[in-house]
């Protein structure tokens, strides 16, 4: 009986420790209860690079359509980068084709008091990036949803992200930081063609996990 109780206590302790280790937060930017899971380390490194390079113009495709609710599943990017922008006198431009997504992200932006630091636009991202004329210090690509098994969707998503980079590359510079989501997925994920193009043009993979960070000058 005593042995069984000890086993149960050990199992509970192991489960709690495992849960704590897997809970990856972005404190102090956001409270510890928000878990960023597989994106946490690349997000932290991205924010460090933005600090180091004094980024001012941030641009993302694919907004946080669930606000902060899906920090682990989706990344809550608009809030993460919007908060960083607010704290660093920078500005985030965020585009999404789905009005429901920009609406929901907009509610979270208001709730977090980020309205002065975030501009939300409802548009196809390629069309929006094509019209963008300011220089971009940080670019986050996370629009057209990828699929783990449907190869037609995989190709369409990779083509779309490639078209995004083609549309915006004239606004990138030596210190721009690029982050691409959903890369560690079957057949190369969202970033496959973008990374091929960028690395052929002098960009370097700075960090490669579920997300990939690219920079030019280290
Ligand atoms: C994975 S979600 C973005 C998640 C967000 N970055 C986050 O961290 O929570 C992908 C988004 O891309 C948007 N999207 C899909 N196709 C698009 C397009 N052609 N132009 C702009 N946005 C698009 C979808 O509406 C969706 O909201």
Averaged over 67-81, what is the pLDDT?
Answer: 95
Nearest CA owner, ligand 1 atom 25? 98
Whether the predicted pLDDT of 9 surpasses 80: no
Query: For the chain, what are the domain ranges?
Result: 37-215
Averaged over 147-168, what is the pLDDT?
Answer: 98
Closest atom, ligand 1, to C-alpha of 80: 8
Closest atom, ligand 1, to C-alpha of 182: 1
Specify the pLDDT at position 43. Answer: 98
pLDDT digits (tens, 9 = 90+) for 179-209: 999 999 999 999 999 999 999 999 999 999 9
Specify the pLDDT at position 12. Answer: 66
Averaged over 159-177, what is the pLDDT?
Answer: 98
Establish whether residue 143 lines the binding site of ligand 1, counting it when its CB lies within 6 angstroms of any ligand atom.
yes
**CA of 206: how far to CAs of 48, 87, 155, 161, 211, in Å?**
12, 24, 25, 19, 11
Establish whether residue 180 lines the binding site of ligand 1, counting it when its CB lies within 6 angstroms of any ligand atom.
no
Whether the predicted pLDDT of 15 surpasses 70: no
Specify the pLDDT at position 16. Answer: 57
Structure tokens belonging to residue 200: 């052929």
Please say whether the dihedral angle defined by the alpha carbons of residues 62, 197, 40 and 217, taken in this order, is positive or negative.
Answer: negative
CATH match of 37-215 with 3.40.50.150: yes
Whether the predicted pLDDT of 70 surpasses 70: yes
Nearest to 113 by CA among 81, 82, 88: 82
Whether the predicted pLDDT of 3 surpasses 90: no
Average pLDDT over the chain, rounded to an integer = 94
Instruction: Tell how far CA 136 is from the center of its chain.
Output: 16
Specify the pLDDT at position 18. Answer: 63
How far apart CA 106 and CA 37 sit, in angstroms, is: 24
Band of pLDDT at residue 4, cut at 50, 70 and 90: confident
């Amino acid at each position: 009986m005593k042995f069984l109780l000890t086993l149960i206590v050990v199992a509970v302790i192991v489960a709690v420790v495992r849960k704590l280790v897997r809970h990856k937060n972005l404190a102090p930017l956001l409270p510890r209860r928000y878990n960023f899971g597989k994106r946490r380390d690349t997000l932290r490194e991205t924010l460090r690079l933005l600090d180091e390079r004094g980024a001012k113009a941030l641009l993302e495709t694919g907004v946080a359509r669930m606000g902060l609710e899906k920090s682990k599943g989706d990344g809550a990017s608009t809030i993460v980068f919007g908060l960083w922008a607010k704290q660093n006198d920078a500005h985030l431009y965020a585009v999404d084709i789905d009005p429901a997504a920009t609406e929901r992200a907009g509610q979270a932006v208001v709730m977090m008091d980020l309205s002065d630091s975030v501009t939300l636009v409802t548009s196809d991202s390629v069309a929006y990036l094509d019209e963008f004329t300011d220089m971009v210090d940080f670019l986050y690509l996370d629009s057209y949803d990828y699929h783990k098994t449907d190869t037609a969707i995989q190709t369409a998503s990779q083509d779309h992200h490639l078209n995004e980079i083609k549309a915006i590359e004239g606004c990138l510079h030596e210190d721009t930081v690029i982050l691409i989501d959903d890369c560690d997925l079957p057949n190369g994920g969202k970033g496959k063609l973008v990374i091929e193009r960028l690395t052929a043009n002098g960009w370097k993979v700075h960090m490669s996990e579920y997300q990939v960070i690219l920079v030019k000058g280290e």
